[in-house]
Amino acid sequence: MRPGARIGVVSPSYWIEPERLARAVGVFEAAGYELVIGPSVTARHHKFAGTPEERAADIMAMFEDPAIDAILCARGGYGGNRVLPLLDYDAIRRHPKIFVGFSDVTGFLASMAQRSGLVTFHGPMLTTWGKETIDYNLETFERVLSGQDGVRIESAPGCRARVLRPGVARGPLWGGNLSLVEERLGTPGQIDTRGAVLMLEEVDERLHALDRMMQHLRSAGSLEGIAGLVIGELLEMKDTDEPFGKTAEEIVLDACAGYDFPIVANFPCGHGACQATLPYAHPIEIRAEDDSPAILVPEAPVI
């Protein structure tokens, strides 16, 4: 991601509002990048940014275009699961590119890493930049994608991370949106979490649903053998008239009972305003040693 890089923009799931798209393009152009808007970004097929075939074709065109340096997703939503089987993972392996997104894009991050050997990036999309410009987001985005070693990522002033269980952990980062991680359980795309630093985030769920998903991960063995756990912001967690009886973080700790890996909570890597860019399927180190937990990326995830 050098100055002047050409960034292809795709919409793998829902379409993005035109006003948000225009604002986000302005942010990147002001930072010195050139954005190439793919056909899916302006396509509409009900709630989706075109049909699954159209969205898959747009993604593949961006990977195969030698003039494109990186690919940034416009937004998430739902529907990526219809696109994933249509991608040519061998072609993606032959034409590796920086690929960035979160939320429903979790499926793309995992599948491209599993089937193409690609390091992908869990980070802000155009819908984030279309709301407001936060220095933390752009600064972290550029540092992680700069090619430098030893990048330290701390939490943002507007989203202070907390240590739920102290320690230091090292391993490749896997995970993403909890609903999408759970969706892959029992399928060929299930994430192998052994030795990994697992990252999970979620938004707009009932507390009992959060508990169900965390217990499902535990019973599936996805928490056993992980090196550490990073919990992003758990936003808009709702209760019922009859209280569930536990907070979101208490639900996480309950699911992790009996394990001794370090846990960091409220890290800015979810649906909040502050969003760090994190290398997916790439070795990282979490430092949960004091009141300022951080993630270290020892070796550059891009060249």
Q: Which are the catalytic amino acids?
A: 103, 201, 271
Count the neighbouring beta carbons within 10 Å of the beta carbon of residue 259. Answer: 14
Count the neighbouring beta carbons within 10 Å of the beta carbon of residue 226. Answer: 21
- Inter-helix orientation angle 248-255/207-219, to 10°: 10
Alpha carbons 3 and 33: distance in angstroms, whole number: 6
